[in-house]
């Protein structure tokens, strides 16, 4: 399981093995300030990254981002 969340500290506290930092509380996988096409590309990036994380070993200490990790 990979969790996309804008508040990853909670996920880490519980011990989630694959944590992906979401964009914002009101829009975890997208960004309403972007134009439609750009936002669509961003949502694609989130899903793609989530699938990459499912295919990688888990580590409950790391918080991942769409670019890499924190």
Partner 1 sequence: MTTPAVLSYLLRSINYRFAREAKQLNYRVVHYLNQFFGQVGGEDKADIPFVIKEGPIGPGVLLSQLLGDGIEVVGTIICGDNYFSNNPEESSLEALGHIEKFSPDLFIAGPAFEAGRYGVSCGAVCKRVSERLNIPAITGMYHENPGVDIYRSDAFIVETGNSAGKMKDDLAKIARLSKSLLYKEWADKFLTGDGVGSPEEYGYFSRGIVKNEYVSKTVATRMVDMLLHKLKGEEFNTELTLPKFESIELPAPINPKNSTIAVVSDGGLCRKGNDAGFSGRGNKVWTYYHIDEFFKDLGSRSNDDYQVVHTGYFSVNVIDNINRLVPIDVMREYESEGYIGNLLPIFISTSGNATVAKECQRMGQEMAEMLRINNVDGVILTST
Residue 60 makes contact with partner 1 by CB under 8 A: yes
Site string for partner 1, 8-47 (x = CB under 8 A): -xxx-xxx-x----x-xxxxxxx-x------x---xx-xx
- Can you tell me the distance from the alpha carbon of 18 to that of 56, in angstroms, rounded to the nearest whole number? 9
Residue 54 makes contact with partner 1 by CB under 8 A: yes
Kindly tell me which of 13 and 68 has the beta carbon lying closer to partner 1: 13
Kindly tell me which of 22 and 64 has the beta carbon lying closer to partner 1: 22
């Amino acid at each position: 399981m990979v969790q996309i969340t804008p508040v990853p500290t909670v996920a880490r506290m519980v011990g989630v093995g694959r944590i992906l930092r979401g964009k914002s509380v009101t829009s975890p996988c997208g960004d309403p300030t972007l134009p439609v096409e750009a936002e669509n590309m961003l949502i694609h990036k989130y899903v793609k990254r989530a699938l990459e994380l499912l295919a990688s070993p888990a580590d409950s200490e790391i918080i991942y981002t769409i670019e890499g990790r924190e």
